C-alpha cells in the first residue's frame, strides 16, 4: 500500500470497517469448524483442503486475467501467497495443540507489533498498549476452560503464525493497491495451496478425496478463505495498514465466541476481561484514527 489511504467521499469508513468485522467473524467460525476435521485428516490436511478448494472457488468466480501482469504484480501475488501458506499452515498446527482463543491471542501479536511499528502518533501507541494488556490477560489463563498451562510447541507454532499474519497485512496491502479486484487474491491463494499440498498429502493421503471431507472442506474454504480474504482485500484499499491492524484486535474476541459456541471452549473471567480490553482498543483505534496517512 502506498502512503495514502483511499477513503470514500466525506471520509466515511463504514464500508471498509464492516468488511473487516465480517472477515473477523467468518474467519474465526471457519477456524472453529475446521478444527472438527482434525481427527479425520489432521491439521495439515485440513489447511490443504481449505486453500486448495478456496483456489478452485476463486478461479471459477473471478476468472482473473493475468496475461498482462508486470513483474511487480507477480512478485506481490507470490509474496502474498507465501504469507498465506505460512500464516494458515502454522495456525492450524497451533490450534491442534491449543484452544482456539489461545492460538488467536498469541497470533495477534503479529499485527499488534506491526501496528506499533507503523504508528506515528502517541494515541495510536496508547491503543496498541491497551490491546497488548488485553492480550496478556487473555493469554494468562482460562482459555481452555481448565486454566492449564499451554502446550509450548503449540505456542511456538502460534508465534510463527503471528509473523505470517503481519507479513500478510503488508503483502496484502501491496496487492490491493496494485491489482484490481480479486485477481491478486486468487493467484496468491493458488500459490499458498501449492506450497501446503505436499504436507497435506503426506499426512492425510487419500482421506482428502473422501466426498464428506471434501464437502466439509468446501465450507471451511468459504468461511476461512474466500469470504474473509475477499473482504480484507476490500478493506485494505481504503484503510491505513496500522488502523487495519488494530481493528482486527477483535479477532481474539471472535475466536473466544466461536470456540465457545462450536467447540465448547469456554473462557474464564480473567480471559473475558482481556477480551474486553482488546475490544475497547479496537474501537478506540477506529474512533481516533483521524485523517488518512
User: How would you class 194 by CB atoms within 10 Å of its CB: exposed for 0-12, middle for 13-18, buried for 19 or more?
Assistant: middle
What pLDDT sits at residue 272?
Answer: 79
> Which stretches of the chain are assigned E, i.e. beta strand?
none
Q: E strand or H helix at 153, and its extent? A: helix 152-178
What pLDDT sits at residue 1?
Answer: 36
What pLDDT sits at residue 2?
Answer: 37
Nearest to 81 by CA among 238, 196, 232: 196
Q: What one-character-per-residue DSSP string does 237-261 give?
A: TTS-HHHHHHHGGGHHHHHHHHHHH
What pLDDT sits at residue 148?
Answer: 60
What pLDDT sits at residue 238?
Answer: 81
What pLDDT sits at residue 172?
Answer: 87
Nearest to 37 by CA among 208, 154, 191: 208
In this structure, are residues 277 and 130 in contact, taking their beta carbons and an 8 Å threshold?
yes
Chain-centroid distance of CA 50 in Å reads 13
User: How would you class 148 by CB atoms within 10 Å of its CB: exposed for 0-12, middle for 13-18, buried for 19 or more?
Assistant: exposed
Which pTM was predicted?
0.81
What are phi and psi for residue 188, nearest 5 degrees?
Answer: -65, -40
Instruction: For the beta carbon of residue 201, count every other beta carbon within 10 angstroms.
Output: 15
Which residue is it, cell 476481561? 273
First to last CA, the chain: 11
Per-position pLDDT tens, the chain of length 293: 333 344 444 456 788 888 888 999 999 999 999 999 999 999 999 999 999 999 999 999 888 888 888 888 999 999 999 999 999 999 999 999 988 888 888 888 888 778 777 766 677 778 778 877 877 776 665 454 455 667 889 989 999 999 999 999 899 888 888 887 788 889 999 999 999 999 999 989 888 999 999 999 999 999 988 899 888 878 877 887 667 767 777 788 888 889 888 888 887 788 778 777 877 776 676 555 444 33
Amino acid at each position: 500500500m502506498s502512503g495514502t489511504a483511499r477513503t470514500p467521499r466525506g471520509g466515511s469508513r463504514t464500508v471498509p470497517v464492516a468488511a473487516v468485522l465480517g472477515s473477523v467473524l467468518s474467519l474465526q467460525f471457519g477456524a472453529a469448524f475446521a478444527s472438527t476435521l482434525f481427527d479425520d485428516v489432521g491439521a495439515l490436511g485440513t489447511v490443504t483442503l481449505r486453500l486448495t478448494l478456496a483456489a478452485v472457488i476463486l478461479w471459477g468466480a473471478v476468472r482473473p486475467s493475468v496475461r498482462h501482469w508486470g513483474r511487480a504484480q507477480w512478485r506481490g501475488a507470490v509474496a502474498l501467497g507465501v504469507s498465506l501458506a505460512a500464516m494458515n499452515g502454522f495456525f492450524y498446527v497451533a490450534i491442534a495443540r491449543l484452544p482456539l482463543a489461545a492460538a488467536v491471542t498469541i497470533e495477534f501479536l503479529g499485527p499488534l507489533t506491526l501496528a506499533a511499528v507503523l504508528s506515528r502518533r502517541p494515541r495510536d501507541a496508547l491503543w496498541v498498549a491497551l490491546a497488548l494488556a488485553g492480550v496478556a490477560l487473555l493469554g494468562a489463563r482460562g482459555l481452555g476452560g481448565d486454566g492449564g498451562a499451554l502446550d509450548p510447541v503449540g505456542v511456538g507454532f502460534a508465534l510463527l503464525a503471528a509473523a505470517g499474519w503481519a507479513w500478510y497485512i503488508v503483502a496484502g496491502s501491496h496487492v490491493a493497491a496494485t491489482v484490481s479486484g480479486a485477481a491478486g487474491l486468487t493467484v496468491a491463494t493458488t500459490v499458498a495451496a501449492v506450497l501446503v499440498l505436499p504436507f497435506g498429502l503426506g499426512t492425510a493421503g487419500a482421506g482428502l478425496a473422501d466426498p464428506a471431507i471434501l464437502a466439509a472442506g468446501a465450507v471451511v474454504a468459504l468461511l476461512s478463505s474466500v469470504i474473509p480474504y475477499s473482504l480484507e482485500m476490500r478493506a485494505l484499499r481504503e484503510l491505513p495498514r496500522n488502523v487495519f491492524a488494530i481493528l482486527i484486535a477483535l479477532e481474539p474476541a471472535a475466536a473466544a465466541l466461536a470456540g465457545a459456541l462450536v467447540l465448547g471452549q469456554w473462557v474464564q473471567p480473567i480471559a473475558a476481561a482481556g477480551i474486553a480490553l482488546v475490544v475497547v482498543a479496537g474501537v478506540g483505534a477506529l474512533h481516533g484514527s483521524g485523517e488518512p496517512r
